[in-house]
Amino acid sequence: MKNIRILFVVLVAFICTASSLASAPSLTITVNNNSSREIRHLYLSPANNDNWGPDQLNNSSINPGGSRQLNASWEQSTVKLVAEDQDGCFSSTTVAASGTLEWTIDNNTSRNCGN
């Protein structure tokens, strides 16, 4: 009986650990900056609201002509990517949140500068 209890505790611990590891799918996001402006901040948001998370660039930037690859966990089927440039203007795109994502920002990408 004692061995059955130990086996049960080990089995429950294994199931709890496995379910916590599988809770948030991992995304690889590549942002290509083909614009003439430095990208200073990048945020992730649910597609249907503006509740942005923390800056994904962590006090760094993406220079013109540069790119950055980020890894993030995301639990929803879509994700809004929001980039803030050196002028304080925002560009965004909404994409399916699966596997590897790529977003290219250029001088024709729509910007919201608060006007």
Catalogue all structural domains in the chain, each as residue range(s) with its CATH number. 24-106 (2.60.40.2890)
Q: Kindly report the pTM of this predicted structure.
A: 0.76
79/21: higher pLDDT? 79
Taking alpha carbons only, the member of 91, 97, 87, 98 closest to residue 112 is 91
Q: How far apart are alpha carbons 81 and 70 in whole angstroms?
A: 12
pLDDT-derived band at 50, boundaries 50, 70, 90: confident
The pLDDT of residue 101 is 92
> Do the beta carbons of residue 95 and residue 103 sit within 8 Å?
yes
| CA 44 to each of CA 9, 12, 18: distance values in angstroms, whole numbers, following the listed order | 38, 34, 26
Q: Please write the tens of the pLDDT for every residue from 52-104.
A: 999 999 989 999 999 999 999 899 999 999 999 999 999 999 999 988 899 99
